[in-house]
Amino acid sequence: MKELVQYLAKALVNNPDAVEVKETEAENGSVYELKVAKEDLGRIIGKQGRTAKSIRTLLNAAASRTNRKVVLEIVEER
Total domain count, the chain: 1
Helix (H) or strand (E) holding 25: strand 20-26
Give the number of C-alpha atoms closer than 13 A to the C-alpha of residue 69, restricted to the C-beta side.
Answer: 5
CATH code where residue 43 lies: 3.30.300.20
Cβ-contact 6, 33 below 8 angstroms: no
pLDDT digits (tens, 9 = 90+) for 11-67: 999 999 999 999 999 888 899 999 999 999 999 999 999 999 999 999 999 999 988
State how far the Cα of 67 lies from the Cα of 76, in Å rounded to an integer. 29
pTM for this model (two decimals): 0.88
